[in-house]
Structure 1
Amino acid sequence: MARSRIVVPPSHLRNVAIIAHVDHGKTTLVDKLVYQSGLYRNEELDKLAGGQHGLIMDSNDLERERGITILAKNCAVAYQAADGETYRINLIDTPGHADFGGEVERVLNMASGTLLLVDAYEGPMPQTRFVLQKSLDRGLKPIVVVNKVDRPDSRPQEVVNEVFDLLVDLDAPDDVLDFQVIFASARDGWATADLANPSSNLVPLFEAIVGHVPPPDKADRAREPLQFQVTSLDYSEFVGRIAIGRVHAGVIKKRQRVAVIDHLGEVTRKNVVQLLAFEGLERVEVDEVAAGDLCAVVGMEPIEIGDTIADADEPHALPHTRVDEPTLHMMFRVNDGPFSGRDGKFLTSRQIGERLERELRSNVALRVAPGPTQEQFRVSGRGMMHLGILIENMRREGFELCVGKPQVIYREIDGVRCEPIEQLVVDCPDDCQSSVMALLGDRRAEMVKMGHRSATSGFIHMEFRIPARSLMGLRSRMLNATKGQAIMHHTLLGYEPVKGELPKRQLGVLISNESGSATAYSLDALYDRGIFFVRPGEDCYLGQIVGENCRAGDLVVNVVRGKQLTNVRASGKDDNAKVRPVREMSLEACLEYIEDDELVEITPKNIRMRKALLSENDRKRESRKAAAVEV
């Protein structure tokens, strides 16, 4: 059932973005704010959250599976303040992972203030610094929300001091340093401005938003010519592309004649077919939306993120949203393996190219360029997870493709070749410190800070400056070195001169020399050769990587050999098979694992690793050519 929209004057509007490091509780807080606004009954919220008591704002399947926010989303709630006035609060939920920083950068233009969430134990983390810097660049003053204060190891007052130190380090103006602090438990749905006087609901947070987040703009901006900037895109099979953004000036009306200004400055005239405003988690059709409010516009296709919808008679473009450039690229190519076409529906380079073009329309941090051949595409993104989510979405849509080893993007700065440098934060048990230091020392990491979060935690906190290429393959090795107890986070700091060579993968791989189904008999015979990635009965092909060698150098093996059917039997021999448990390799783990001469084959049902040249003779011939060139 559609809900009626509460109309408030511009002075009673509050546009607030919720920003934080990953897993500090942004989406949980938004869900509780929506719940306590009284717009929905419990059963409605359960239905919206997928019937699993999950998070309403994490509507994407991948978001629910991984427990992270990938796409920025917004909703609107009405709140009756202590003074009796009704306010409408537009809440913008943003991703917390560094790889999806492009989502944060573009939606901050919709906000007039921010809620900076910080974990009461972890304090400011790498992504906290990144999103806070972006919000300060746009002149947004934060309200600091210290979340999870109900944790037994919480240290709220120390975290507030750390946030202050971070703001000083970011050269924040004096008025920002005098920030409002709210202590909260988003999971339990309460907040308070004073820990000595706890609350049972989120009213103190609502009051802080009303009192400290400024209205969008002065009311007289509604009399200026229309300016609306597109910050998000949605799509409907019935009406096509839907432009979502904020009205910066003027009033946009249904059936109004407007001008659309693209990033090149070209102007086209169109009619507003439908105008949708936000009410709760829904969109309500309205006749007009005034300056300062958020809305969705139908009938502007074709339109892209960053375009301006302006007055038809006086078209003036808003500054185009600048997004940081990608730091990582990899080669997408057609799947030319022996099993091509078994699982997927979309196999050709044309279909892959069209899908990447569609992704560019909404993924502002992505770049796509032609590869060395017509069947290859050079795709650049913010990080491994950024590109991994794209590949996973394509896989679920029925695409088959192969991707190469991720490579960092170098830049020439003042004639010097530079590489991206990241801030790496590692929390690990005290007895694992030496293992972590040894692992990072080989990867040209520089320690910046070391200490304990609290005297009783037993965990040591370390911060490093490390080349981005050193992070590839680090997570799995870090977990092995610390028995799965280390916690890692990283974010981009900037570019510095190239640090030098890094150690390559120490162990080789096991490569299948025949096609067929892997057998327990052959895997048993190869028990001491290494760890396998395939199980008995799985289909393998010539050139596929089926395991990790126990020593340096690649080894070609036969994993499809069956037992000879003779009438000679050894007592108990068949019962003593020593097939090791396979190593489960996720998509991101495969992307980090492969070397330059290897590929990851992605299909809707399988993820395999293979050599780029499947034939052993071809690989030997190529290695001889490379050796001749070096000589």
Structure 2
Amino acid sequence: MLQEHIRNIAIIAHVDHGKTTLVDQLLKATDAFRANQQVEERVLDSNDQERERGITILAKNISIDYKGVKINVIDTPGHADFGGEVERVLKMADGAVLLVDAAEGPMPQTRFVLTHAIQAGLQIMICINKIDRDGANPEKALNDCLDLMMDLGADDEHLEFSMEHVVYASAVNGYARLDPNDGNDNMYPLLDMIVNDLPAPDADLEGPLAMQVVTVDHSDYVGRIGIGRIYSGTIHDGDRILVVKNDGSRAMSQVKQLFTFDYLGRKECQEVGAGDIAAVVGVDSTDIGDVYTDPENPVELEPIEIDPPTLAIVFEPSTSPLVGRDGDIVGGRQLKERLEQERENNVTMRIEELPDKTGVEVAGRGILHLSVLMEEMRREGFEFQVGRPRVLVKKDENGNKVEPIEQAVVECPGEYAGKVIELFGNVGGTMSQMDTGATQTHLEFKIPTRGIMGLKNRILNVTHGEAVFYHTFLEYGPYAGEIGGRQNGAMISMSTEKAVAYALGTLQERGTLFVGPGTECYEGMLVGERSKPGDMVVNVARTKSLGNQRSSTADIAVQLTPPRTFTLEEAMEYIMDDELVEVTPKNIRMRKRILNETERRKWRVRHGMVDK
């Protein structure tokens, strides 16, 4: 039976095409805020990192009320590293709004989120956003969307629905239009189309209870909170329910509190009926995929499978000579406890202690996925060190090694296309498509995840900063063999002292510096990159020898180029196997695993490695 008073919709898009801004405008259009209420932009991106990075990391649920219909809106992440969120939350929706930038058209991660929406059988309406932007071409963007849907296997019925349900919008200016030039200045055309044309949930209110958990929230007061859609029946506060796990195991539990979504918050209620989305408190150690059902008439639902992690990294307690200067949590035990807590709250990561107890291995969907956790921890006051990310290689049914393969897209001026193709060729990439436009060339590659590490900076260097680079996980493919790492050697500090301008002035002629005058350096720390292969130990504290006579001309001041700085992701992609990234609340430093030069040489001799 259709629940006409409810709509469950997901908003899907590539990173930075305006999903969260659009949700802001839907909230304003339905009077979610008081007339005098101060409202921040991108109100759903409540996490500090979401605001700073300008991306959605966690899927969010809100509900709005329009013409007597409750619209449950799911704001999904657009970045493939958070794909685990997208796959699951789409199970709660009956329809989706595909948001596409009118100037850029569909991008690699549009393909990623759209693939999941089509596989889930959702009816998809298209919203061409940013029609006021310079270079906007709404008609081309729409045709590209329909072509992409055909490529991804959408059937005729879904294609026809999408062709007939198109809205043109400028989310930042707060309007949606059925025609780009019709002059409407509000969001009601989009809301009307959602209510009138997207399907209502088909659910049996009288049947046995069946609810599946797709998101797990966590509260320090009540523990885990299972969030999911009710497919049949009604759940009441205080009900005794049967919990069926993904592995088939069963246990009885009791609903202690029940919430439904109400605008930006949750509202406690006594019952929630089929077709709606509920948050349930009381099921200990609830997990994604759990089915809450009637003990007398249990209902079976398809288990939820989460895509496996593709990258792993080892967290270790910091052994830096400067440990404890910036952070106040430096012990191995606290690090392990924090990561075990993360394992409870974050089911998309695999977190296991190493057999020798020297560290904890964390596996995730990509560099960004892992760096979000590290950034969170350093803000909490942790100091730790991590090694180079390791790609998780598997074996197929024939026993052959397979590794994660990514689809990479580069858009750059035509004059640089040859250099970009050469870069990809050096790291195992193969070109799958090339489109030459009037000013820009569009290149697509298939490349092992190992080859992606550190590639972005090299692409920006050879294109003089004019390239746009995106990549997304595609599949597991044949192992590509050895892939070359960093070409240039590192400059390594020989002592624990502050860097001096005079010494840096002579060193910058030999390569690129990572530190400026007055920076605290220590023995074994990476202070720069050579312009040649092979590491070089340098003295960053060398001062000018002064005689007892005055110079006939005044000393010329040392002209220093600003040092190159690294984000967490860039530092992890830059280091080699014998190097570490030291993470503190105030600094990100790169260092050799063995700090002493003599010890490093002995280690290299023992392992049959000879300096170039």
Q: 2:540 matched to which residue of 1? A: 559
Q: Quote the offset at 1:153 in angstroms.
A: 1.5
What is the distance in 1 between the residues matched to 2:228 and 2:345? Answer: 13
Aligned to 2:448: 467
- Supply the distance in 2 between the matched residues of 1:434 and 1:160 (Cα, whole angstroms): 30
Shift of 1:70: 0.6
Matched, 1:520 2:501: yes
Once the two structures are TM-superposed, the CA of residue 172 in structure 1 deviates from its matched residue by 1.6
- Letter of the 1:423 counterpart: Q
Cα deviation per residue 1:445-464 (whole Å; 9 max; x = unaligned)?
Answer: 222222256x5xx2222222
Look up the SS of the partner of 2:241 in the other structure. strand
Q: Cα distance, 1:597 vs. partner?
A: 0.6
Within 1, Cα distance between the matches of 2:35 and 2:433? Answer: 46
Q: CA deviation at 1:236?
A: 2.9
Within the candidate set 132, 156, 169, 1:150 is matched to 132
Deviation by residue 1:217-269 (Cα, 9 ceiling, x = unmatched): 23xx1212222222223333333332222222211111222233333333333
TM-score w.r.t. the length of structure 2 is 0.94
Q: What residue is the counterpart of 2:347 in the other structure?
A: 364
What does 1:320-469 correspond to in 2, within 5 Å? 320-371=303-354, 373-413=356-396, 414-452=398-436, 455=438, 458-469=439-450
Instruction: Give the superposed CA RMSD.
Output: 2.1
Give runs of aligned pairs for residues 210-249 of structure 1, distance below 5 A.
Answer: 210-218=195-203, 221-249=204-232
Aligned match of 1:183 in 168, 180, 186?
A: 168
**Could you list the per-position Cα deviations for residues 504-563 of structure 1 after superposition, in whole angstroms to 9, with x for gaps in the alignment?**
212111111111222223323434232221122221111111111122110001113445
The question of whether the paired residues in 2 share the 8 Å contact of 1:304 and 1:362 is answered with: no
SS of 2:136's partner is coil
Kindly tell me: are residues 59 and 157 of structure 1, through their superposed partners in 2, closer, same or farther at Cα, counting changes over 3 Å?
Answer: same
In the aligned structure 2, how far is the partner of 1:373 from the partner of 1:344? 26
Higher mean C-alpha deviation, range 553-562 or range 506-515: 553-562
Query: Which residue of 2 is the match for residue 6 of structure 1?
Result: none
Q: CA deviation at 1:14?
A: 0.3
CA 571–612 in structure 1, closer or farther in 2 if over 3 Å, else same:
farther
> What are the equivalent positions in structure 2 for 1:252-263 lying under 5 Å apart?
252-263=235-246
* SS of aligned partner of 1:344: coil
Is it true that 1:23 corresponds to 2:16 in the alignment?
yes
Instruction: Identify the match of residue 58 of structure 2 among 71, 89, 102.
Output: 71
CA contact (8 A) 2:218 2:345 kept: no
Pairwise CA distance, 1:45 = 4.8
Superposed counterparts of 1:120-131, under 5 Å? 120-131=102-113
Q: Pick closer, same or farther for the CA change 1:262–1:355 going to 2, 3 Å.
A: farther
CA gap 1:43/1:591 in 2 versus in 1, 3 angstroms: farther
Deviations 1:548-607 (A, max 9, x none): 112211000111344567744435565422433211111111111101110001111211
Matched residue, 1:57: 44
Amino acid at match of 1:394: M
8 Å Cα contact 1:78/1:87 also seen in 2: yes
Describe the SS at the equivalent of 1:351: helix
Distance 2:42 2:548 in 1: 61
Instruction: Sort the Cα spacing of 1:568 and 1:98 in 2 relative to 1 into closer, same or farther, 3 A.
Output: farther
Q: 1:264 aligns with which of 229, 233, 247?
A: 247
Q: Structure 1, unaligned stretches of length 5 or more?
A: 1-8, 81-85
The answer to whether 1:584 aligns with 2:565 is yes
Matched residues in 1 for 2:135 and 2:417: separation?
Answer: 21
Structure-1 residue corresponding to 2:144: 162
Compare 278-287 and 185-194 and name the one that shifted more: 185-194
CA distance in 2, matches of 1:447, 1:509: 31
Deviation at 1:421, TM superposition (A): 1.7
CA distance in 2, matches of 1:356, 1:326: 16
What amino acid does structure 1 have at the position aligned with 2:198?
A: V
Structure 2 residue runs of 5 or longer lacking an equivalent are none
Q: 1: distance between equivalents of 2:84 and 2:351?
A: 15
Out of 27, 35, 49, the residue aligned to residue 34 of structure 1 is 27
User: Alpha carbons of 1:553 and 1:260: their partners in 2 closer, same or farther (altered >3 Å)?
Assistant: same
